Structure formats: C-alpha cells, structure tokens
Structure 1
Amino acid sequence: MPNSQKLLTQKRKEHPILFNSEMINAILSGRKTVTRRIAKGDLLKSPAGKPGDVLWVRETWMDLANTGIYDADGKPQRYAYGANCLPGSASDEARKDFGLKWKPSIHMPRDVCRLLLEVTDVRLERLQDISPEEARAEGCPTASLKDPVGWYRSLWQSIHGQASWDVDLNVWVIHFEVLR
C-alpha cells in the first residue's frame, strides 16, 4: 500500500475496469493480483493507465433502496453485489422475493463501486508468454495449481472464445494491489 506522503504528491487518474463474479472473489480472497486485457488501438496507452493510477471495479450489482433489507449490524443495505450472492444462494432467493434484478457491471456508476485497485505495474506482452507464476496471480484456484497456464487458457477461452488463445494477441499485463 502506498504511504500517505506518496498519495499527497502523486497525480492519480481513475479508470473503470470490469470483472466477473469469479474474478471479484479471487481478488477479495487475495488470489488475483494481475489481469490481462487485449491491447487495442494505441499500443503506447494502457487502458489501466500507469503505476499509481486507480482502477475502480465495475461488477454485477443491484440497488436495494426501499427494500427494508438490513445487514448483520442492523443497518439498511444500499447495494448488493453479484459476487456475494451466487445463483441459488439464500440471498439470491431473497432478492427474487422483492422482484429485484441484477444490473450488468457495465452499467455500474462510480459511486456504487466497492473495490478500488492501485496499479503497481503495466506492461505489454504476448498472451501465450504467461508464466505459471503469472497464471496463479490471475486467480488460479488451488485445484488447478498443477497446470496454472492450462487453467488460465481455459479461463481466457471462456471469456474471449475457443479460438482466442491460438491468436496469441498482444495483451496489457496489469498488476494491482487492493486499496479497499
């Protein structure tokens, strides 16, 4: 984490970034500290900015205003996040009782964001150049530690399509630390 003097003297920009619920949980558990994004357009400009910049995470969410739903401390809950309410869970079933629907991450406004990440490193590389250590840092679950690159290849293909791995695109490798 940066010290307070560094925060005072540094001009930081904020950039939105999308993550699915599986990757949100990997970030929250400390397993995910890096992400790769396809390099598009200007290869000199990362979508995550530069080290020191902040990524505000967009995720699946819903507005709970006027529902009367309270947290464990008895305070009214304002928002719910998809990563905390897996399909079929008790909280997901309760959501249905109120007729509430999930809102896609792309529609999340900045003030609803609960997760901020500080960019610690950004570099450009080929997708298939990922090392086993970097694949683990992408959020690899313990069960896949024997072949983390294989796990990451499957994850990439599930997001970008079956043939996407073979194209071996340029990707931005973005390392981060959780701020909150």
Structure 2
Amino acid sequence: MTKERPILFSGAMVRAIQDGRKTQTRRVATEFDGMDVDKVLARFPNQRGCPYGEPGDCLYVREAWRSTKELDPYSGGRIAEMCLDAGYSVPWAPIHYEADGQRRNWQDTSTPPHSSPPKPGRYRHARFMPRWACRLVLQITAVRVERLNDCSEADAIAEGIEPFTDFQSSGHWKRYRDGGCNSYVDNPIMSYASLWTEINGAGAWEKNPWVWVVEFRRIA
C-alpha cells in the first residue's frame, strides 16, 4: 500500500525542486553506524526498510512559511480546527512560502479572525508546517543506502547544486559555506560536499556516514 510521509527541505532546496534541478536527497542513516557493507545490505533488501519510504510512496514537503498576522497566536493544527468549526470542508488559510515568496489564498480573508488586505504574520519553521499547507508532493522512484562519499558527479548534480553563472563557459558549480560572490569549484562533488558541510556542520563530509539516498519525482 502506498504511504505518504513528511520531509523537510531548506528554502534553497525547495527552489531546486521547483526548478527541476533536485531529484535526490541524502539523509544520514544513523541505524547503520559501525556496520560493515555486508551487514548494511543484509538489513536493507529490495529497497525496503527506508524510514522515508519505498518506491511508489509519496513525500509531502515541509518548508518555512507564514500565515497572516491575525493567525499568529494559532498553530497549524488549531487553524485547521477553526476552519472545520466554521463549516469548511477542508482546512485552509492564507499561506506565504518563505523559499520564494509565493502566496496561496492570500486575498481570501474569510477565515476569522481576518483583515483586508492580509498582513504577513510570524515566521514558522518548516517542522511546523501541517499537511494542508504543503504545496509540493514527491513520489519516490528509488531508494538505496551507501556511504556519503560514494556520491557520483551525476548524483551531486541531482542533489540540486547550483551552476556558477559568472562564467560564459559551463562546468563550474557554486561553492557553498564561504558564500563569496566569486566562490566556485570545477567539480560537482566538491560543490555538493560544501553544501553538505553548510547544512550539517564542519567535518560532516569527512565523517563519511552511511546515508539513505532517496530518488524522487515531483507530482504536485
């Protein structure tokens, strides 16, 4: 049976998904710490057992967001309850997505309390985004487990790294973490390594942990 699970992405990775650049994600597989390859593979037969799902399952993307100022005192769950109590068939509210500034239902203000025009409210972390507020849904196409440093150049590109566009020629990629406007590398794996370090902290790439590799396609 197909299942649906949440997954968190940063604003940069949300934009990469929207642009069609990101079709893979790697997440640390702490359950395999200290194991050798044979033991890891024995615990992961036929793409089954990944906590993020199996091929065919779906992931709904949680990302940073805001609603209107009047709804600041309420959690996403409470907003849903207010909608249903008011007679709506599904939860909804004006949503502002931090990744790109896109807004949904921003002119609709009939959910009490309300004002017109809507005023942006407080920042809400991705972990607090309820399912009804999500705009991106991914379908898993493949799952595997491997060491982080086994990432190939094609895999690194599929992770959504950004091409470096200050050059007319291709083959340069953004170097993350130091963030300079002229910061680039020639190798996509080095670019992804710097992105992994930016997300996970100094020395994270060198630790070379076991990771879940989840390949996906966007379906909504």
Secondary structure of 1:142's match? coil
Residue matched to 2:188: 148
- The structure 2 residue matched to 1:29, chosen from 19, 22, 39, is 19
What do you get for the CA RMSD once the two structures are aligned?
2.3
1:65 to partner: Cα distance: 7.7
Q: What does residue range 30-179 of structure 1 map to in structure 2 within 5 Å?
A: 30-41=20-31, 44=44, 45-64=49-68, 78-85=94-101, 98=119, 100-143=121-164, 144-145=172-173, 146-179=186-219
Kept in 2, the 8 Å contact 1:140–1:152? The answer is yes
Structure with larger Rg: 2
Structure 1 residues not aligned, in runs of 5+: 1-10, 68-76, 87-96
Secondary structure of 2:156's match? helix
Inter-partner Cα distance in structure 2 for 1:64 and 1:17: 24
Q: TM-score, normalised by structure 1?
A: 0.78
Inter-partner Cα distance in structure 2 for 1:57 and 1:162: 26
1:17 aligned to 2:22? no
AA of the residue aligned to 1:84? D
Runs (4 or more) in structure 1 with deviation over 2 Å come to 40-45, 64-67
AA of the residue aligned to 2:161? C
Give the 3 Å change call, closer, same or farther, for CA 62–99 of structure 1 in structure 2: closer
Count of paired positions: 152
Secondary structure of 1:52's match? coil
AA of the residue aligned to 2:62? R
Kept in 2, the 8 Å contact 1:37–1:173? The answer is yes
Inter-partner Cα distance in structure 2 for 1:99 and 1:48: 32
Q: Could you report, residue by residue, the CA deviation over 1:46-101 in whole angstroms, capped at 9, with x for unpaired residues?
A: 1211000000100001113869xxxxxxxxx7201111139xxxxxxxxxx93621
Inter-partner Cα distance in structure 2 for 1:33 and 1:64: 32
Secondary structure of 1:111's match? helix
AA of the residue aligned to 2:56? G
Kept in 2, the 8 Å contact 1:33–1:137? The answer is yes
AA of the residue aligned to 2:208? D
AA of the residue aligned to 1:78? P
Structure 2 residues not aligned, in runs of 5+: 33-42, 72-92, 103-117, 165-171, 174-185
Kept in 2, the 8 Å contact 1:65–1:79? The answer is no
Kept in 1, the 8 Å contact 2:69–2:122? The answer is no
Kept in 1, the 8 Å contact 2:21–2:159? The answer is yes
